[in-house]
């Protein structure tokens, strides 16, 4: 959980049963739940099971983390999981409007391939791509919540889980085919349709929530080996639009256009939605309108407020995985490339505006919202702010006169005041083997007056934003004379902002 008042991580929740995920975080329309999609199926609860037991022991898992809006934290005690067949469920999206209460995930290993290239078996890349279709997972999360609240669950490693037979019995889980090794499941702004990219199929397939609900009401399904009902594609599909090679993710604007990232084509495909969206632009519904080359190998794509019910429609950003020749060569590790695309004009008038190198790992899900929807802190509200509890820290020291060092047995506790351009105290002495608890308060109230605190020999490096209190604990196991110093160029006397840390042998 990242708090958008200071853009800092407030909570990391460990999933006790799932070992990996791809579709990291999706939210229901009112953030009732933050949903952690799965990725590669494994035995539940990090247990050992040989690959030969794949069909029996390996499982997919989707986690509904309850979000406490008041606290801004996930509440694991109100969260639950649903056991799924081992089909490598991947990327998901929550329904909204007419599809509110549903949740959709694509999957790409209904073949249940188990790999083993070294033993002459087909590698995963081939084994998982054998079938013409995989399954779009359709999950009734409102019903799942009822089942969880009714206690029809099993507690596994401290979290309640709806087991697969229960999910089938209660009508929580349905499948419908999706071609081929698909990617993404993106709900249109009005919630009427779900768009799935074909990846190895040149189409995007569009499913209608009306058709899905009608088919579920009609009943009479075949099932997969785990008993999950399969709704035929003909009964759920609204349209297919041929876009080209490698369609992955789809985002939307306010003019009835959809934008799909085309990985193999290295392009953004603009196409028209039908149904209630027809007539919002001059183009014919369910048709490809323009393919704009991007540079290169686009993966994810973001449109301004595109995941909301009212997309902004000014810009799309292409999140390209390769940049090749777009920037000065800085050696074999290249930056990724974000490209800003103007989508204001209808028809084939999309225009590439700007390249921006991203020096971090592969860019994934991105949301664009209007900046004035956020009111981040300029400095922390009070001096001595604990950024984890979001309140004043009991160990804050707000004036140099309160700075001190106290010893209690083998524990030495230090309260340090940090301000331009000095630490108080500047000499800290402990004995080898002492346990050191060091509290530091940056008492600055001026915007951008950030200080750092580094004791490199002890692998300690803190950033102290204006008003922030931090605590670091370590064992002083190495005797010697060490330095600590500020690591943010805070003032003309920044280099002078240092102190000595003595560890007596």
Partner 1 sequence: MGVGVRSGDYMNLLNLDPDVKVLLPDGSARRLMDYLIPSAILMLAALMLMISMFVPYWHMSLTAPQYPKGLYVDVYVNHLEGDVREIDALNHYLGMPKLDEGGRLERSISIIAVVVQGLLLIAAVFVHNRWAAALALPALAFPFIFLADLWLILYTYGHSIDPQSALGGAIDPFTPPLFGAGMIGQFGTVASAGPGLILAFAAAGVVLIGLWFHRAAYKPIVDARNKVKASTSQAAQA
Cα dihedral sign, 246-24-335-4: positive
CB of 423 to partner 1, least distance (A): 14
CB of 117 to partner 1, least distance (A): 59
| Between 262 and 419, CB nearer to partner 1 | 419
| Between 83 and 444, CB nearer to partner 1 | 444
The interface region with partner 1, picked from 119-127, 178-186, 344-352, 414-422 by CB under 8 A, is 414-422
| Between 277 and 423, CB nearer to partner 1 | 423
Q: Which of 20, 31, 446, 478 binds partner 1 (CB under 8 A)?
A: 446
The 3-state DSSP class for residue 121 equals coil
Q: Which of 243, 419, 440, 476 binds partner 1 (CB under 8 A)?
A: 419
CB of 464 to partner 1, least distance (A): 15
User: Total residues contacting partner 1 (rule CB under 8 A)?
Assistant: 8
Q: Which two tokens stand for residue 215?
A: 């088919």
Strand order, beta sheet including 237-242: 183-187, 193-197, 203-208, 237-242
Q: Which two tokens stand for residue 33?
A: 């739940």
Question: Which of 103, 171, 175 has its CA nearest to residue 133?
Answer: 175
Q: How many residues does the chain have?
A: 505
| Between 301 and 440, CB nearer to partner 1 | 440
Q: Is 412 within 8 Å of 502 (Cβ atoms)?
A: no
CB of 421 to partner 1, least distance (A): 8
The interface region with partner 1, picked from 287-295, 317-325, 415-423, 428-436 by CB under 8 A, is 415-423
Q: Cβ neighbours of residue 391 under 8 Å, at least 6 residues apart?
A: 385
Q: Please report where in the chains the tokens 């791809």 appear, as a residue.
A: 22
| Between 61 and 490, CB nearer to partner 1 | 490
Q: Is 353 within 8 Å of 318 (Cβ atoms)?
A: no
CB of 376 to partner 1, least distance (A): 17
| Between 164 and 419, CB nearer to partner 1 | 419
- How far is the C-alpha of 306 from the C-alpha of 7, rounded, in Å? 21
- How far is the C-alpha of 36 from the C-alpha of 25, rounded, in Å? 5
Give the Å distances, CA to CA, from 378 to 399, 417, 467: 21, 20, 10
| Between 126 and 493, CB nearer to partner 1 | 493
Neighbours of 12 (CB within 10 A): 7
| Between 3 and 382, CB nearer to partner 1 | 382
CB of 25 to partner 1, least distance (A): 36
- How far is the C-alpha of 384 from the C-alpha of 393, rounded, in Å? 6
- How far is the C-alpha of 283 from the C-alpha of 95, rounded, in Å? 26
CB of 332 to partner 1, least distance (A): 39
- How far is the C-alpha of 63 from the C-alpha of 141, rounded, in Å? 11
Radius of gyration in angstroms for the set of CA atoms belonging to the chain, rounded to a whole number: 27
CB of 493 to partner 1, least distance (A): 6
CB of 419 to partner 1, least distance (A): 6
CB of 495 to partner 1, least distance (A): 12
Please state whether beta strands 411-419 and 435-442 pair in parallel, antiparallel, or not at all (unpaired).
parallel
| Between 197 and 466, CB nearer to partner 1 | 466
Q: Is 420 in the site for partner 1 (CB under 8 A)?
A: yes
Site string for partner 1, 8-47 (x = CB under 8 A): ----------------------------------------
Residue 150 burial (C-beta neighbours within 10 Å; 0-12, 13-18, 19+): exposed
CB of 237 to partner 1, least distance (A): 57
Q: Cβ neighbours of residue 171 under 8 Å, at least 6 residues apart?
A: 140, 143, 216
Q: Is 421 in the site for partner 1 (CB under 8 A)?
A: yes
Q: Is 494 in the site for partner 1 (CB under 8 A)?
A: no
The interface region with partner 1, picked from 136-144, 243-251, 438-446, 467-475 by CB under 8 A, is 438-446
- On the question of a cis peptide bond just before residue 421, with omega within 30 degrees of 0, the verdict is yes
Strand partners, 168: none
- How far is the C-alpha of 471 from the C-alpha of 207, rounded, in Å? 52
The interface region with partner 1, picked from 163-171, 230-238, 282-290, 442-450 by CB under 8 A, is 442-450
CA end-to-end span of the chain: 43
Q: Is 444 in the site for partner 1 (CB under 8 A)?
A: yes
Q: Which of 126, 374, 493, 495 binds partner 1 (CB under 8 A)?
A: 493
| Between 421 and 471, CB nearer to partner 1 | 421
Q: Is 398 in the site for partner 1 (CB under 8 A)?
A: no
Q: Which of 133, 445, 463, 471 binds partner 1 (CB under 8 A)?
A: 445
Q: For binding to partner 1 (CB under 8 A), which residues are involved?
A: 419-421, 444-446, 493, 496
């Amino acid at each position: 959980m990242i708090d958008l008042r200071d853009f800092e991580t407030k909570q990391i929740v460990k999933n006790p049963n799932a070992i990996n995920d791809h579709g990291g975080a999706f939210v229901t329309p009112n953030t009732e739940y933050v949903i952690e999609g799965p990725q590669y199926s494994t035995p539940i609860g990090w247990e050992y099971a040989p690959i030969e037991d794949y069909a029996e022991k390996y499982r997919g898992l989707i986690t509904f983390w309850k979000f406490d809006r008041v606290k801004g934290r996930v509440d694991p005690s109100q969260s639950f999981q649903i056991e799924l067949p081992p089909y490598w469920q991947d990327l998901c999206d929550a329904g909204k409007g007419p599809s509110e209460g549903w949740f959709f995930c694509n999957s790409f290993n209904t073949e249940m391939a188990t790999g083993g290239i070294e033993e002459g078996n087909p590698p995963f890349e081939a084994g998982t791509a054998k079938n013409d279709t995989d399954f779009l997972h359709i999950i009734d999360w409102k019903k799942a919540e009822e089942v969880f609240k009714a206690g029809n669950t099993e507690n596994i490693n401290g979290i309640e889980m709806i087991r697969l037979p229960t999910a089938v019995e209660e009508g929580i889980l349905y499948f419908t085919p999706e071609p081929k090794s698909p990617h993404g499941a993106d709900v249109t702004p009005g919630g009427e349709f779900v768009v799935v990219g074909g990846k190895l199929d040149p189409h995007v397939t569009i499913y209608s929530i009306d058709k899905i609900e009608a088919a579920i009401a009609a009943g009479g399904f075949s099932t997969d080996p785990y008993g999950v009902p399969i709704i035929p594609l003909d009964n759920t599909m609204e349209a297919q639009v041929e876009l080209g090679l490698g369609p992955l993710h789809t985002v939307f604007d306010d003019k009835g256009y959809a934008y799909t990232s085309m990985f193999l084509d290295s392009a953004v495909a603009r196409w028209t939605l039908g149904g209630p969206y027809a007539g919002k632009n001059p183009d014919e519904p369910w048709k490809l309108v323009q393919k704009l080359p991007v540079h290169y190998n686009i993966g994810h794509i973001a449109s301004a407020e595109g995941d909301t019910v009212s997309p902004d429609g000014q810009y799309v950003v292409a999140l390209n995985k390769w940049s090749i020749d777009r920037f000065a060569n800085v050696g074999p590790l290249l930056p990724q490339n974000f490209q800003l695309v103007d989508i204001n004009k209808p028809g084939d008038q999309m225009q590439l505006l700007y390249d921006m190198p991203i020096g971090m790992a592969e860019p994934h899900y991105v949301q664009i919202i209007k900046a004035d929807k956020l009111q981040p802190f300029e400095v922390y509200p009070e001096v001595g702010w604990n950024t984890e509890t979001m309140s004043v820290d009991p160990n804050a020291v707000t004036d140099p006169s309160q700075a001190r060092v106290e010893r209690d047995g083998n524990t030495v506790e230090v309260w340090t005041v940090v301000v331009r351009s000095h630490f108080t105290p500047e000499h800290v002495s402990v004995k080898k083997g002492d346990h050191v608890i060091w509290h530091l308060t940056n008492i600055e109230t001026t915007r951008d007056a950030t200080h750092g605190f580094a004791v490199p020999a002890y692998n300690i490096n803190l950033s102290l934003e204006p008003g922030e209190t931090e605590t670091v604990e370590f064992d002083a196991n190495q005797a010697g004379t060490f330095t600590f110093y500020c690591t943010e160029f805070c003032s003309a006397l920044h280099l002078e902002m240092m102190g000595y840390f003595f560890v007596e042998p």
